[in-house]
Amino acid sequence: MSTLSDLVYAQGRSSESDVEWLHRLAGDGQLLADLAFADIVIWVPTADDSFVAVAHTRPGGAATLFYRDIVGDRVRPQWRTQVHDAFHGARIVDSASPDWFEETPTRVRAVPIVRSHTRDEAAGPLVIGVLTRHTNLGETRTPSRQQITFNDCADDLFGMVASADFPDLSAPTAPRRGAPRASDGLIRLDVEGITTFASPNALSAFNRMGFEDELEGESLLEVTSGILPASREIDESLPVVVTGRAPWRTDIEARGVTVSLRTIPLRDHGNRIGAIVLCRDVTELRHQEQELITKDATIREIHHRVKNNLQTVASLLRIQARRTHSEEARDALTQAMRRVAAIAVVHDTLSEGLAQTVDFDEVFDRVLRLVAEVAAAPNTRAQTHSTGAFGVLPSEYATPLALALTELVTNAVEHGLAGREGQVEIAAERSEDTLEVSVRDTGIGLAEGQVGRGLGTQIVRTLIQGELGGTIDWHTIVGSGTEVTIEIPLRWIERTPK
C-alpha cells in the first residue's frame, strides 16, 4: 500500500513542508479518533479538483464505520461538497443532516487543515487538505461526563487544526516507547493550570504515586510537587508540562511508580485557553528499558574485557616467539598471535557500540594493518589494498570472516610473494543474495597447481564452509599469481538484523 508521502506527492499539489505537516497530523490521528469517538480521515486535493484519502484512523473506544481500508480512495459523492467547501472556504463544515453510510446513520464534520494563518495578505489561510470526522450515530447513548469532556477536547483540537495551531512543530516528533493515549488517562487544565477534569485512569495513576485526594480543582503543578521525593532531581521541563504551557513530554516517578506525561496546550485563534495532559503508568516499561540498557552495557563490557584478554594473549605469544630459537616454532607462535589479534579487533569494534553488528569494512582495514608486519619480512615488499565494500555484518559472522581473511592475506604475502615484490588485492562485492570476496596476489602461483594442506588452509575451510555456509575456491591466475574466491550466501548473514 502506498505511504502517505507517496499519495500526497502523486497529486502534484503539495510541497515538502505540506507533507511534513500532514505526517505530524496523521501521527496524532489516534488521539483525535479516541477523543472524538469517531473515524478520522485525512484528504488532500487532486489535480482534477477532487480529493483522495491519505490517512485513516479508527477510534479505540467506539465502533468504526470503515471496516475496509479507504486510504487511496477518492472522496465519496455524499461527502464531496462538504469537503470541497471546507477546503476552499477555510472553515469547518458540519453535515446538515445525518449521512447514511452502508445503512448506518453518521454525522460528518469537515475540518480544513491549515498550515499557516496567511500565505499573503490577499490569499488568506494556506489550506493543504481536509480532515473529516465520521461519527457513528447507530450506537448513540446518553454520553458520560468523560465522553462529553473528550468530545470538547476533540472540538478544541479541530479548531486548532483549522487555525494552524495543531499540530505543533515544537512538540517532540518521536515519542518514546509507552507514549500515553487518551484512554490511558486524561487531565483537562484551565489557563491557570487548575484541573477541571481527570479521567479515572489518570486519577488512579496519581493515586499510585501517593496522591490521595481528588485532582479536580487542584493545581497539577502543586499536586506533582507534593508527591515527588524531595531528594529526587526534578526535570527542568516538569513545571512547564504540568501547567500546560508547552507541548512537551516528561516522566514523573514517586513511590516506585513512573508516569509518563504529554501536554497539549489548547488555543483559540492563538490564545491559550488551557491544556490536555495525557498520562500513563509506564513503570513496567521503564523497568524493561532499564534492564535492556543494563544488558547492553554488560555486553559492551564483556566485549571490552574479551578484547583486552585476547590482546594480552597475543602479547604473550609475541614475547614467546621472540625468545624461541626454533624457526618453525617462532613461525607457529607468530601465526597464532595474528589469529588471536584478528579476533580481538572484532571484539574491540563491538565494545564501542550497543548494536551486535559491525561495519566490516572498518574491521578489515584494521585487520590489514595486522598483516602488514609480514610485508616487512626480508626481501619481501608487498602492497596490500582493498576494493569494494563488505557492509554491515552480524558479529557472529564478522569474527570467522576476519580470521579467514587474515589467513588468506598472510598466506599470499608469506608464500605467494615470498622474497619478491608484489601486490595483494582484496575485492569485496555484496549483492542482494551473496557476499563475494576475492583475494588475489601477483606471486608465484600455486605449487604444481595444488592447494596446500597446511593448518592455515584447514582453518580457512572450516571457517568459510562450516561456520558461514559458504564456498571457497583456489586457482592460479593465468600468467602469475593466485586468486582465492569466497562466496557466502546472505541468507546466513540475515539471521541477525542489520
User: Is 191 found in the same domain as 128?
Assistant: no
In DSSP terms, 429 is beta-bridged to 436
User: Is 377 found in the same domain as 496?
Assistant: yes
Q: Is residue 172 part of a domain?
A: no
Task: Tell me the pLDDT band of 117, cut-offs 50, 70 and 90.
Answer: low
User: Is 368 found in the same domain as 494?
Assistant: yes
Closest CA to 209 of 229, 233, 185, 187: 229
User: Is 399 found in the same domain as 484?
Assistant: yes
Closest CA to 439 of 395, 378, 388, 489: 388
User: Is 461 found in the same domain as 316?
Assistant: no
What per-residue confidence (pLDDT) applies to 94? 93
**What cell numbers appear for 311 in the block?**
590482546
Q: Is residue 262 part of a domain?
A: yes
Q: Determine the Cα–Cα distance for residues 9 and 15; give it in Å rounded to an integer.
A: 8
User: Is 157 found in the same domain as 8?
Assistant: yes
Q: Determine the Cα–Cα distance for residues 141 and 137; give it in Å rounded to an integer.
A: 9
Average pLDDT, the chain: 83
Number of domains in the chain: 4
CATH code (residue 92): 3.30.450.280
Q: Is residue 322 part of a domain?
A: yes
CA 481 to chain CA centroid, nearest Å: 47
Per residue in 57-91, pLDDT (tens digit) is 999 888 888 888 899 999 999 999 999 999 999 99
Q: Is residue 339 part of a domain?
A: yes
User: Is 109 found in the same domain as 188?
Assistant: no
Which residue range(s) make up the domain with 80?
4-161
Q: Is residue 170 part of a domain?
A: no
In DSSP terms, 441 is beta-bridged to 424, 482
Task: Tell me the pLDDT band of 346, cut-offs 50, 70 and 90.
Answer: confident
pLDDT for 497 beyond 60: no
User: Is 225 found in the same domain as 79?
Assistant: no
Of residues 55 and 234, the one with the higher pLDDT is 55
Residue 144: left (phi > 0), alpha (psi -120 to 50), or beta?
beta
User: Is 389 found in the same domain as 311?
Assistant: no
What per-residue confidence (pLDDT) applies to 384? 80
**What cell numbers appear for 6 in the block?**
507517496
Q: Is residue 289 part of a domain?
A: no
User: Is 9 found in the same domain as 32?
Assistant: yes
CATH code (residue 421): 3.30.565.10
Q: Determine the Cα–Cα distance for residues 67 and 71; give it in Å rounded to an integer.
A: 12
Per residue in 336-345, pLDDT (tens digit) is 877 787 777 7
- Please work out, in degrees rounded to the nearest 5, the angle formed at the alpha carbon of residue 311 by the alpha carbons of 308 and 316: 125
User: Is 350 found in the same domain as 362?
Assistant: no
* Domain end among 310, 336, 354: 354
Integer-rounded Cα Rg, in Å, for the chain is: 33
Least confident residue range of 228-232, 349-353, 438-442, 464-468:
349-353
What per-residue confidence (pLDDT) applies to 163? 93
For a pLDDT cut of 70, what percent of the chain falls above it? 85
Per residue in 204-244, pLDDT (tens digit) is 999 999 998 999 999 999 999 889 887 666 667 788 889 99
pLDDT for 52 beyond 90: yes
What per-residue confidence (pLDDT) applies to 46? 94
What per-residue confidence (pLDDT) applies to 495? 45
Of residues 134 and 375, the one with the higher pLDDT is 134
Q: Is residue 389 part of a domain?
A: yes
What per-residue confidence (pLDDT) applies to 467? 82
CATH code (residue 226): 3.30.450.20
For a pLDDT cut of 90, what percent of the chain falls above it? 38
Alpha helices in 11-50 (DSSP H): 16-27, 29-36
Per residue in 377-431, pLDDT (tens digit) is 555 566 788 888 888 887 777 888 888 888 888 777 776 666 677 788 888 888 8
Q: Determine the Cα–Cα distance for residues 461 and 407; give it in Å rounded to an integer.
A: 11
Q: Is residue 367 part of a domain?
A: yes
DSSP code string of 259-297: EEEEEEEEEETTEEEEEEEEEEE-HHHHHHHHHHHHHHH
User: Is 367 found in the same domain as 350?
Assistant: no
**What cell numbers appear for 45 in the block?**
486535493
